[in-house]
Structure 1
């Protein structure tokens, strides 16, 4: 009897690990963690605390910010954080920022995305925010906090960013994964611009996070292949993207501006800039490791196709603004439908195995969030 219980526990634990990053489990985890954070007041302040040799913080012992992670940023720092006595040792990524108008807008936007896109399972390409706190000036002074430690977003944990993915794994030599991840990145940008109505303006490889799909990741290495497809809709056009080992989430919205105030160059840059993350430095990309140059050439061709679309968008020959092409529609037609069709990554015929019951709609379906991002004139990297 005891052995059977242990076997069941081991099975459930393994199943939880395998499915931890699928959308259903992410939503379930949100409700579990949010319940544990119910006691947090929005005006509470961090207290500095040591965790072994690591300098960190605690929020009244409810959340412990234990280890700094992530790519360097001048705007925020991120800490892996724990909730005592909760399964999963470091289930939260706490993002510390200065209290600025744009950072407060970003916090509001993270809440809107969580409640309107992720919890209803209408997109998987964003990061959930569990909670946020805004420490007063007096509270910050009392706790000896600097301004960059007073606004905190408590987000779900991802496994890393595109920069670390290319630097620490063998994905840069896996054709199927590279194309799929690039397509996901373009879809996440389109969802941000079209569904949410904002231009990101900072699409570098540190602002695209990945979550490992353990089921696919492990099965691929044992010869599995039938992983199913995710269903997307754009302006009534249905298409399907093959499930792969990594889910891509667009993140860090502090430099965003409304699409109706964004420069055309910024709109184009969102799509074009991130594609450098998939290309070797020898092909004028960002990957500073030895990679399959045939694959780098393929990804460079993908970038060229998108660049041609953005050039057409920026053309001065258009008589009226309404005549401008729809960049993402052109990406569907000239990239997704034409680039490496032999891979089966992108298809338009409904497959036997569709993974999401609710299609991920990329275009606008309701009013944009009423969040007043202020134009930021800081020079982008």
Structure 2
């Protein structure tokens, strides 16, 4: 099964990965331990008598640090796994990414791993003879790392009990989605959405997806470069957040000018569209609204019946939709200097985003007056700020909910 990733999607995947921060801390610890050992041998720093006076005492100290850090790391990993299980079962499986991208959790694990590796390297550098000179600067740094690890562990316990609260999870989803909105800049670019490919109705080639998955990122600049080389225009069929089946239409190639372009290589062209096994924040603005709707629906289920949590999720969705209602959902378009359209990628429509945030929650909360009232208040507020092209979708749902 083949899936593709754009350059920006790869970078975002690395930046948001759970392993990046611990890996940086681990490498830094090894480099620091080796560097301090070399520095002590070269400079003969006068710091004797600060820590254990012999290799046996130093080995005992470092062995204790190594054992403690292994225990700390196992404890942090266990607590994190329990937090993930609780969040998945009580709120939504789609909120797990919020925990895995939490910098405090990553820094805590990275600090413990760094202290462990630093102590291991220093232990290996200890002299075998009792009269040998001890790397006392490295031993002092090991103790400092232990103190730092203790402080980080205490803050981690405070942090994990805070972020497990549903209000903080909902707020974190809102913050992440607002960042995506700011990066998306829908309608703020000067020439976006101002054109369609020449002969847009003519399709000279249909390029299918190489594998099934969710559309998470579209690199219109790369598609435009490919289109210029082949003297054609390319339009993306699905939008971020859509599922595409293997072989289903992914890209349409349109002629530019009188001569039809030569057939494009599907393997090169599909690199402009990232397909993943799950939705991710970024260009997929609806992913945040989907998470909020999932939390609200789960809270309204008979087994949980937590109307307050559902109402909090609706209020957060209200803020996001209010920001979206004042922005035109124009497609992303790349032009040549002469105005020729080379690449077009549609955005999620406001109607589809509104459907995610309202329709399922309204059905699940139809017997809960607080939820119905919150949704009606939200829709009425949106009618006061929404652009004319968004008003029909808002008014249609408002009419359905108000007899």
- TM-score norm. by structure 2 comes to 0.27
Query: In proportion to residue count, which structure has more strand?
Result: 1
Larger Rg: 2
- TM-score norm. by structure 1 comes to 0.28
